[in-house]
Amino acid sequence: MLVAMHDARERDMIARQYSDHYKDLLGYCLPWLIEELATQRPTAESIVRLHLRIMAEYPDSLIARKCGMEIASQSAVLARQVLGSEEETEFHQKLSDL
């Protein structure tokens, strides 16, 4: 399985995490989750915000495989726009639009 994940690592984010011993997950995502949880927002919202940060930083490989890299890149831009919202109502509206 490790060989298959290594072979797919350039086109699949999950395979990359598996083959790199979860380097991005532990190096970026875990600290981001800790930051989000420290805000005292509900846990579910912190997880949604974490997912948006991941989407904004790493275009979704499943979207890229299904719809092409251009659409995956557009979804990353939209995630950044949601995260850039200044007010909660704006955040939730942009999230709903995403």
Three-state SS string over the chain comes to: CHHHHHHHCCCCHHHHHHHCCCHHHHHHHHHHHHHHHCCCCCHHHHHHHHHHHHHHHCCCHHHHHHHCHHHHHHHHHHHHHHHCCCCHHHHHHHHHHC
Is a pLDDT exceeding 90 seen at residue 95?
Answer: yes
pLDDT tens readout for residues 8-66: 888 888 888 888 888 888 888 999 999 999 999 999 999 999 999 999 998 888 999 89
Q: Take residue 3 and report the two structure tokens written for it.
A: 């060989």
Structure tokens at 25: 């997950």
So where are the chain's domains? 2-97
Answer yes or no: pTM beyond 0.85: no
What integer pLDDT is reported at residue 83 of this predicted model? 95
Eight-class DSSP state of 12: -
